[in-house]
Amino acid sequence: MPAPTGPLWLIRQGELLEYKTDKQPIGGEKLTEDVEFQIFTLELEPEDRIYLFTDGITDQFGGPQEKRFGTPRLRQTLLEIWAEPSMVKQRALFNNRWKREWMGDLPPTDDATLVGLRILE
């Protein structure tokens, strides 16, 4: 899996909180270098959602004018689907929006990963 390159997004009760992460690759040539990463702790609550993503998600071209999906569109999409309790259903909703509606028949721009976590307790 590619390393997440975007921020960590926490959605709590419909509010998106953004935590900036280090923009450092975790593989490849960097394996031979000592790289320090910022460490932070989150106080999580039941029903919080955490999302991490690579830039392949936001950089994907599509739509009627073949523009990038972009961070604002990703933020809006996640805020529309976050309350769905089933992460499997969230994946289906996201894939429908991103792959079918946005990408259509266009080829992938880059590798793309979106990880979503639901905090249960």
Per-residue model confidence (pLDDT) at position 29: 64
Residue 78 DSSP SS3: helix
Per-residue pLDDT of the chain (121 residues; tens, 9 = 90+): 444 557 899 999 999 999 988 776 656 665 666 777 778 899 999 999 999 998 999 999 999 999 999 999 999 999 999 999 999 999 999 999 999 999 999 999 988 999 999 999 8
Boundaries of every domain in the chain: 8-118
**Are the beta carbons of 5 and 22 closer than 8 angstroms?**
no
What are the tens digits of pLDDT across the range 91-113?
A: 999 999 999 999 999 999 988 99
Residue 31 DSSP SS3: helix
Q: Position of tokens 């419909």?
A: 14
